Structure 1
Amino acid sequence: MNAKKLFLPSVLTIGQRPSRTQRAGRYTEESMKHPAKMLPDLAAEVIGSFTKPGELVLDPMCGIGTTLVESLHLGRSAVGMEYEPDFARMAADNLAHARARGAKGEARVMCGDSRNIASTLASYRGEVSLVLTSPPYGASTHGHVKSFGLTGDAGVTKENHRYSTDKRNLAHRPRAELLGGFGQILSGSASLLRPFGVVAVTIRPIRVKGELIDLPGLVIDTAHEAGLVLTNRLAALLCGVRDGELVNRTSFFQRIETKRARAKGLPACATAHEDLLIFQTAADLKEVGR
């Protein structure tokens, strides 16, 4: 049996279309409320590169089900877990919507704590070809902004920026606990992989009180402790590319915070990409080396 081969360029231009355009008609309008959704074009690129039709894709932190929906549209099967009941329901609605649009493949979403995924989904052991997921960045994100022109009120308002009100959600936990929990999830998910399966994680650096936090590096260390080995680190552009120029797709608040940091003399930049981290198990890589 051969190891999985990487069929992706080192830089993915998955931000050519705005996120809302990528989801238009493909996902329910309600599911736009999730504060941090994976881009469908990114999910489709990864799924198409590392799996074949009929194979099984797992997302242990599936949110509104982007990984699952794109798997169905590509003729794969999919299974996901989501801690928040509202988001799990949205994911199920999106799967139903995908089937109504002619998507093939089997899929299911379960509501639960994916730190227990190895036992909860034990029936899938040895069947998963690809794990594709992204951890939360914290209790809240930039969310959605409405300006005076829409609300009639002065300034801007922010909504749909919180993951949850449940303090047990990993998004609310201190960073060390969040990473520890994510390590459990990675380890449990990896135990369900078929030989030479792949774990793919999307993650980007963040700023906390002006300090740049290397979340991709922390996730790499966490994955290593979970028995996974980094085999590739790619850049997925969140911005568009037109005639050799970058098309800004950063959020209103990110642009504001970047300007404020620069005004203070800090060399801050708006995030224009996220890392796509590709892992395989140490056991599989050892087998390849024999």
Structure 2
Amino acid sequence: MISYRVSTIVTVVLVLVAAAALSGCTSSGTADNAGGLKSGLPDTMDFSIEITGGTTSPVTVTYEDMKAMEFKELLGIYTVNSVGTESIGDYIGVPLPSIVAKAGLPEGEISYKIAASDGYNLVYTSEQLEKSIVAFKKNGTVMKPNINDKNSIIIVVPNETNNMWMKMPAKIEIIKGSAAEPALSVTGLTDNKLYLSLDDLRALPQVSSSYVDKKSNETVAISGPSLNALLDSAAIQSGALEAVFTGKDGYNKSISLADIRADPNALITIGEDGSLKNYVADQPSGTRVSDLVTIKIV
């Protein structure tokens, strides 16, 4: 009889212990899903995103607003830079669609022009934005609201090269219609990969120059966005030596960065049809690439 009672008591105790353990696990899981992903994040941070072009915009979504949203974890996300180096990391942050939704989305096909705090901007498709997060933690480390910090807050876009991973997004413009192809791309050994529209090019500092046409022997005046200002925006990396200019047809020519820097009036001309051509003084006419579409720094 005593043996039966002891056995019953032990069984009840074990059941209660198991129930308590399960209850603790469930609580911990909920905390991990709701609060655990946000652990270590400060209550306040000097970071916000202004959104325009939506049905209820303009709106400014603050860091505090974002921290109150549901967080998402992306594990084992890899990206490749312009020279083929891979990096892998775990990221935690707010889904970008949740942030953009605060401005209200218009009906139909839309794209998004996102600008960083330093003015660098890119256009994202709906598909790219849908899978992106604004990351506040990388490999467990809290990221900083400083575009010059190696652990800066960043847009993480899975399965995209790192030129689409924008540090310190500051503004999002919702645009009706699909994302347009850039008029000019600047890639290669740069800290900032540029994908510029004609309007972006026209917004750069403008310079003027001239050359002598070999056929007519007449002086031709030209003007356009400063090539040196363009290179400054791209932030050329140390060790880079040349710029490779490539046209739509694949034709390309290289000019040394030293020669470009030696000409303060080096420029990109914009034709009436929107076609681009590079010009650097004292360079052979063959280095002027018609229908220019990319500049790669090597």
TM-score normalised by structure 2 residue count: 0.26
Bigger proportion of residues as strand? 2
Greater C-alpha Rg: 2
Greater percentage in helix: 1
| TM-score normalized with structure 1 length | 0.26
